[in-house]
Every structure is written in C-alpha cells, then in structure tokens.
Structure 1
Amino acid sequence: MTGANIVLAAVVLTGHTALAPAAAFGGMTAVHGRFEPYAVRSRLLAAVGAGLVLCVALGSAAAAAGWGPVPVTVLVAVVAALAKLLTDAVSAGPPGGLIFVFAVATTAVLPVSWAQAGAQIGIAALAAVVAWCVGMVGWLFFREPADKQISWREGLRSAVRLPSHELPRATKVGAGVLAAGLLAHFLDLGHPYWTMIAAAAVLQSTHLNHTLHRTVQRMLGTLAGVVLGGLLLAAHLPTPAKLACIVIALLCGELTVIRNYALAMLFITPLTLLLSSLLTPPDVLGLASDRLLDTVLGALVGLVAAVVRPGRGYHLATA
C-alpha cells in the first residue's frame, strides 16, 4: 500500500538512506491481513508490526554487537522457525513468516553502532504504526459487527502440543535456513543472507508439491528481476527517481505476492537491489550475479530440506 511507504520516502528524501531498510520492513506490516475483517485485521497487523520491529531490533543488536557469520546464521534460523510456527498457528496467511526472516537477516549484516541500531528500531516502529493506520483506515467508513471471535490461543496451544503439524514444519524451515546460511558462508558468497531468505521463502509452503512450485517460481522470477534491477542500477538514477522505483516495486510486490510468486519476485528483486544500492555504491554486475547465485542456492537447499521431510501431500501431483 502506497500510504504505508510514507516513512520510507521521508527517510530517503531527507538523506537518511541507511534507515531505508528498517522503514521498509516496518511498512511491510500492511502486506498482511488485507482481506480479513477489521476486527481480525486490527490484531493481526498489530502482532505482525510488533514482530517486525522485534526482528529489526534483533538484527540491529546483532550487528551492533559485532556478531560473526555463524551466530547471525543461527539467529536467522531460529527466527525463521519461530516465524513459521507462529504464523501457521494463527493462520496469518501469505506471505507467512518470510518477511520476519527478511527483516532480521538484512539488518543483522548492516554495520551499525548502538545509537544507529536504536534509530533503526525507532524508524521501524514508526513505519509499522503508519502501516497499521493505513490498513485500518477503511474501518472509519465500513463498520463491522464486533462479535468476531479470534481463537489464537487455541491455535498456539495446538501448534506446540504433540502431535503437531506446525512444529515439524517450523523445524524444517529452521534447519533449511541454517543449512543454507552455513553453506553460503562456506562457499564465501557475496550476500549469504540472501541465501537464507531464499531457503525460508520456498519452505513457507506446507508440502513438497508447493515447495517445488515455489522453488521454480522464485528462480525464474529472480532471473527476470535481476535483469530488470541490473538495468535500473546501470542507469545511475538520481535518488528521487530511485526512490520512486523502490516504492513502485514495493507496491507491486505487495499486490502480486499472494497471487503469483514468480511475478512478485520480478518486483521484489529490483527492490532489494535498489535498497542495497542506497547503502553502498553498487558494482552492478557483481550485485546482480550475487543475487541470482545466492537465490538459486538458497532455493535449492530449501527444496532439499522439503525432500528430506516432505510433510503431508508430499506426492508430486499437479496442484
């Protein structure tokens, strides 16, 4: 939603580009609960916003404390598992726990002081509040009955009580993300956190059939997105034009991620590349090739994790 990106636009236009990722993550609160009744949406967006701010805080604290690659990888894997468990337990819907992984993995690799970490947390919180307001503005015009029941407590209890479908899925996501991150560091890839995010992305599905589809869609969408993003980077756009592209890409990604994953990656990949370029002058070819290689590796690791533990509906039937 465009309104949810107000904070992102403000920090970039005022020259505080280092805060752009945190503002973007807070604004992504608005992605969730779009079709829920306002009684449900209110609580869901509040919970998602708080979770995203917490993830920015964890990542920023890890960066400020100077954590090395392995501790950061473990942190991201734990967040990925918990995000999968909780979003499944409350039936949060697409995009599931992915954005939480995106937030903690990205902020954990941005070099910051403790003061800068505090600024990132504050900006993320402000953006989350703005996103909540944008998501709820329709309530002023379309009132709904207040008797909607929200049985989150029962869902959470069921998720952690054995036998549980949610616990094995969460464990699989955590293990896949951990393996992807460690492998990326072992291979000395340029942006290992992209590998972890890709693994988490393909493992948001419930069984192997969906994971296979998401793997193919993520790789094809990323390939097309890398081409588009590389062209935008090579154009050396001025900051206002680059910001406009970021907002458009973010909006298009939000609108398409629920409907077509490959199409969403066509927008999310340039978004990621453009955000990265705001922080450091980009090596266009190197950045684009890193994005493609890291994404393919992470998606394949996620697929292997799904093969090892397929879950329900493991057969490769046509969806």
Structure 2
Amino acid sequence: MTGARAPGASGAPAYDGGTRQGGPLAVVGRFLGELLLGIGPAKNDHHAAIRAAAGVFLPLLTLTLLNRLDLAIFASFAAFTGIYGRNEPHRVRLVTQTRAGLLMLGVILAATLTARFSAGGALGPWGIVVGTTIVAWLCSVIVGHWRLRPAGSLFHIFAFAAVASLPHQPPLRDAVLAAVATFALCLAIGIASRVHPGRRTPLGWPGMRAAWRVRLGAEERRVLWLESIGYLVAPAIAGAAATAVGHTLGFGHNYWAMVAAVVPLVGHSTRHRVSRGLQRVLGTVVGLALLAGIAALQPAPWAMVVLIAACQFGAEMLIARQYFLAQVCVTPLALLSTLLVAHTDPGALLHDRFIDTAIGAAIGVAVVLAPSLYRRARRLPRLSDFAGRSGEG
C-alpha cells in the first residue's frame, strides 16, 4: 500500500521514534492538540454570548455614565444570571435564571454584610478563606440540587470573596439596587428573543410550575453529596496555601486560587477534569499577555466597559467548546473588571493572577486524583499478599 511503513523482522510495524500512531510522542501531541486547539461542535453559542455580553455591558455603561463605578462589582456579579439556561426553552430558562440570580443575589448580600460587620470594613485573608469555603460548599449543594448549568460554585466563590474583601463598601441600598436591577435586566434579556415568532417557545404558568419542580433520585443525591466534599476541601486547601505563600512572597488575591481550585471539579471524567485544570493555567498565561497589551494602552472607563463586554462575548462563544481559548477571554475579563473599579497596579494583578491560578489549579487536580490514587494504594498490599502466597505455592 502506498505510504505504508515496512514491517520489522518480526512482522510488527517498525519503530519510528514514537511518531507512529499510538507512540508516546504521538499520544502527547494529540493530547496537547486536543487540550489547546480541539474545538467542540457549535450549538447556537452566539445567542447565549449576545445575551451574556448585553447583560454586563448595559449595567456597566449606565454606571459609567452616572459616575458610579463603585457599584460596578455588584452589577458585574449579578450579571452572571445571564449565563445560565444557555440553550433551554424560554420557560425553563426563566426558571433557571431566576434560581441562579436569586442565589447570586444572596451571595452578594451575604458578602457585603459580612464585610460591613468585620473589623476594618472588609474580611481579612484568613476570613476570606473560611467564609468563601463555606459559600463554595453550600452553593455547590444548592446548584447541584437545582441542576443548574454551569455546574459548581465557581461564580459564587468569586463573587463572595471579591465583594467581602472590598476595602470601601458603597451604601448598602445602592449596592443592592445595582445588583437587583442587573438581575431583572438579565431575566428580561433571557426571554427577549420571544418577540421573534420563529424563536418563540411556550411561557405559561402551569409549565412554569412544572419547570420549577426538581426531584433528585437517590443515586443523584448520593453523587451530589460526594462531589460537594471536593468543594469543601479544594477551596480550603488552595486558599490556605495561597494565603500562607502570599504572606511569605508578598502577593494577594488568595481567592483567585480558590476559584482555580474548583475548575477541575467539573467534568465527565478524570481525564477531562485534569485537562480543565491545565487549560485554566495555560489560558491564564495567554490571557495575561493579552491584558498586559490592553493595560499598556491605558483605556478610558467607557473603553474598558466595551472590552469587558467583548471578552464576555468571546468567553461564552468558547466556554462550552474549548476551555483553554475561553480562558484567554476570561482572564482579561476578570482583571479589567478589577481595574475598572480599583486603581491598582496592573503588573501586580498579572503577578498575583498567575501564581494564585497555578496554586489553585494544582490543588484542584490533586483533589480530583486523590480518590483514584488512594484506591490504587489500598490495592497494593492485597496484590503483594497474593504474589507472596503464589510464591509459597
């Protein structure tokens, strides 16, 4: 056959240095190609991306025009409402986004109240670790019980820690108003496509009540509680490690490590979860390079709002198809939101983001691998005993 390799003396294919199909270099190459460039099929991602981008752009633009960027963080996190119910019918999407939005509003309110009653007006590093770990576990249980997608409590970790660590809290009434108004806007955007006859799906009260009911089977509940352990362990270890190392090396934002630690906890297989951890780190590196270029231009607040919306659009276009490329958008999205509110040295943010992400992703991957490694370790004594008995026979 044309192009076929000559077999070796034994009749097996000749070794080609690991580049043949199944060779170690080929396996590594395919893994990296899939990790960095493999893109899943499109599923009307632009619809969800437009909704999510509009949900964050309109509130931030309004706050910019009103010169109330101190409220931007509350609007930004409430806008996470719009990323839920991605490809669901309008009835189900409205229920899903209502649940997700109310949960996020509860997290935001808990964070700002915790900060206001803390010494100094904000939670300290160790307070952030304790409080955010509780939120991570509790929200993972609620999200799982409601079967919300995206799964997990990543957004809730980010929201609670960022708001609770704010050194200067705006008036509570204004903060709540900004968050609730953004939540309501996202709900409206979520069903806005019903005005198009070709995209209209039923939206009746009986159907709404049916969509609101969620019943988990016994096996689903068992899996939910088992997986919630990861959301207790991974953020706690990552937050403690980032706080301890940060105190020694002089960097902050320990909650970024807690966010990165839960990324590998979502996935349909161990391989997929480990891949997500690697993609988080590699995507962050490329995203930080992109942010460095943006920061060098020193964009005006309105331009930063446009860039935030563009990054949100890009992230939603890619998040379900290629996590590495999505992180290239997510990283500048998160840090531009920080720079919009706080006058912070961009270089320090880049430094902190990379180290915290690396710490968190490594711990998250370790938590994912720990159960299988433990099971293998328990099998080793039994195998050695079996080998010993076989030798005696």
The TM-score normalised by the length of structure 2 is: 0.73
Alignment of 1:21-100 (within 5 A): 21-66=73-118, 67-94=123-150, 96-100=152-156
**Displacement of 1:259:** 1.9
1:266-299 Cα offsets, whole Å, 9 max, x none, are: 1111111111112332322221111111111111
Instruction: Determine whether 1:13 maps to 2:77.
Output: no
CA contact (8 A) 2:124 2:165 kept: no
Residue equivalent to 1:294: 356
Q: Provide structure 2 residue ranges, at least 5 long, that are not aligned to the other structure.
A: 1-50, 377-393
Q: Deviations over 1:69-96 (max 9, x none)?
A: 2232122112212222222233222254
The 2-side partners of 1:200 and 1:105 are apart by 14
SS of alignment partner, residue 240 of structure 1: helix
CA 1:181–1:3 in 2, change beyond 3 Å: closer, same or farther? same
CA distance 1:231–1:143, shift in 2 (3 Å): same
**Pair 1:249–1:95, CA change in 2 (3 A):** farther
Q: Which letter does structure 1 place at the counterpart of 2:371?
A: R
Percent identity of equivalent pairs: 24
Task: Note the C-alpha offset of 1:17.
Answer: 1.4
C-alpha deviation, 1:167, in angstroms: 0.5
Once the two structures are TM-superposed, the CA of residue 55 in structure 1 deviates from its matched residue by: 1.0
| RMSD across aligned positions (CA) | 2.3
* Pair 1:127-2:185 in alignment: no
Distance 1:225-1:212 versus aligned 2 partners, 3 A rule? same
Q: CA deviation at 1:212?
A: 0.3
SS in 2 for 1:187: helix
Which sections of structure 1, spanning at least 5 residues, go unmatched?
A: 315-319
Asked whether the 8 Å contact 1:224–1:266 carries over to 2, the reply is: yes
2:337 corresponds in structure 1 to: 275
Hey, what does 1:250 align to over in structure 2?
A: 312
| Cα distance in 2 for residues equivalent to 1:128 and 1:151 | 18
- Structure 1 counterpart of 2:162, one-letter code: T
Please name the residue that 2:44 is paired with. Answer: none
Q: Name the SS of the counterpart of 1:199 in structure 2.
A: helix
Take 1:117 and 1:234, find their aligned partners in 2: how far apart are those partners?
A: 34
The structural deviation recorded for 1:309 is 3.0
Give the equivalent residue in structure 2 for 1:176: 234
- Would you say the 8 A contact 2:61–2:302 is kept in 1? no
Cα deviations by residue, 1:140-178 (Å, 9 ceiling, x for unpaired): 441327565437441288655xxx001111111121001
Match for 2:252 among 180, 187, 190? 190
Distance in 2 separating the partners of 1:168 and 1:284? 39
The superposition leaves residues 231-272 of structure 1 with CA deviations (integer Å, 9 ceiling, x where unpaired) of 111211112212211111122222222222111111111111
CA distance in 2, matches of 1:289, 1:197: 16
Partner of 2:365: 303
CA distance 1:112–1:156, change in 2 (3 Å)? farther
Deviating more after overlay: 256-265 vs 202-211: 202-211
1:317 alignment counterpart: none
The alignment partner of 2:167 has SS state of: coil
